[in-house]
């Protein structure tokens, strides 16, 4: 009984850790992607202004 309980606890902890790591990685990727999109948007906005070609 104790062994099974410990095994389940260990497994739950591992799954929780994997999910946490995946979530963390996803959030970092999302943040990076958003930053890149912001840079592209800024570039497009700057290029669209008439004074950019003056």
Q: For the residues 17-39, what does the mean pLDDT come to?
A: 89
Q: Please give the angle made by the CA atoms of 34, 37 and 39, to the nearest 5 degrees.
A: 110
Kindly tell me if the per-residue pLDDT of 35 is higher than 80. yes
Beta-carbon contacts of 20 under 8 Å, excluding residues fewer than 6 positions away, are none
Q: How confident is residue 7, by pLDDT bands cut at 50, 70 and 90?
A: low
CA distance 11 to 27: 24
In degrees and rounded to multiples of 5, residue 50 shows phi and psi of: -60, -35
């Amino acid at each position: 009984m104790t062994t099974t309980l410990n095994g389940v606890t260990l497994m739950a902890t591992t799954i929780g850790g994997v999910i946490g790591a995946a979530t963390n990685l996803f959030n970092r990727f999302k943040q990076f992607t958003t930053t890149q999109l912001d840079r592209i948007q800024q570039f497009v906005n700057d290029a669209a202004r008439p004074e950019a070609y003056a």
